[in-house]
Amino acid sequence: MKIQKRIGILTGGGDCPGLNAVIRAVVKAGIHEYGMEFFGIEDGYEGLITRRVYPLDWNRVSGILTLGGTILGTSNRANPFRWPVKKSAGEIEFTDVSDQVVQYISELRLDMVVTIGGDGTLSIANGLSEKGVPVIGIPKTIDNDLFGTDITFGFDSALAVATEAIDRIHTTAMSHHRVMVIEVMGRYAGWLALSSGLAGGGDVILIPEIPYQLEKVYQLVETRSHRGRRFSIVVVAEGAKSDQGELVIDRVVKESTDPVRLGGIGRVIGEAIEVHTGLETRVTVLGHLQRGGTPTAFDRVLATRFGVKAIELCAQGTHGVMVGLKGNEIVTVPLREVAGRQRLVPLDHPLLQCARSTGVCLGE
């Protein structure tokens, strides 16, 4: 069945492994099954604002399945509803250029825009959908914090990187009898820290959903030391906060869709442990290592399933939805239900019980 439709594709927000796998799946399925025509939008929504779009064909997406990053480029500062414009005095003024974007999409004669991204990207997609743009969202983030899907592609790859890093740190911690603090990403959700901490044998795991008490952390590492376990592994989510409710912020980027840049909690925790226990402590911040590299097999398959489902929806004329995974089924969720919502670790989640049952300190 050949359906002559023109489809635009963009990747927004932070990059992660699996983006190219989705682009490949969307384009190949659309061409093979329906004879569709595709256009790559450069650097997320910035390409729609600054009019940078080019044709995507079968050859352009061949051989990209295993590549990290995104061949389309991305941006986490390009929001058509809040576009930063620098004035002569160097000050930044925010302007709503969404109507211009809608007009450009109309000029391109796009029948659908497939937006691949996290909560910021999909919230913008919902805004464009409300303006009449046919949009389908695909959930991407290493943080796994998107509402409407059990898992996002990119998470499994980041988890594999974080776990391998903890494994490597484990050996040097044992050799030097140190407390090793590993700071991982995740923003305001603890999925990455909790999962990598469990997989890597963390002794302490601190996540945003459970405000930590430093005294509990001191007690755990001192008890291990007294019992002859002369090292400890502390995994900290970048969004972890104390029972006083304080987040550690690295900087603020005003022109970004998410201005707050978390970071530095690992150093705060590490210094506090060393001062209060006298145990030698070192800190490792994994940072963007978690975003780069080759996607895992799981993420390649999930990304491909998401991409193929998105094209099925395009062929049907369905829009205003995000594809997601529930159990083992690919489902659709209205974008309006996804926008502005986060999927945090429930306090009764089985992984938390697993951690407690195996003696992991959660700082509570």
Residues with catalytic roles: 143
How many whole angstroms separate alpha carbon 138 and alpha carbon 217?
A: 39
Which among 271, 296, 52 is positioned nearest to 160, based on CA atoms? 296
Between vectors from CA 183 to CA 298 and to CA 147, what angle results, nearest 5°?
50
Residues near 227 by beta carbon (within 8 Å), at least 6 away in sequence:
none
Q: Is 93 left (phi over 0), alpha (psi -120 to 50) or beta?
A: beta
How many whole angstroms separate alpha carbon 101 and alpha carbon 215?
A: 52
How many whole angstroms separate alpha carbon 220 and alpha carbon 131?
A: 54
Strand partners, 330: 325
User: Would you say 196 and 162 are in contact if contact means Cβ atoms under 8 Å apart?
Assistant: yes
How many whole angstroms separate alpha carbon 329 and alpha carbon 324?
A: 8
User: Would you say 268 and 282 are in contact if contact means Cβ atoms under 8 Å apart?
Assistant: no
How many whole angstroms separate alpha carbon 160 and alpha carbon 339?
A: 28
Question: b/e for 62-88, b at 16 or more Cβ within 10 A?
Answer: eebbebbbbbbbbbbbbbbbbbeeeee
Residue type, 283: V
Residue 95, SS3?
Answer: strand
Kindly list the distances between the CA atom of residue 341 and the CA atoms of 30, 37, 126, 202, in Å, as whole numbers in the listed order: 30, 33, 12, 29
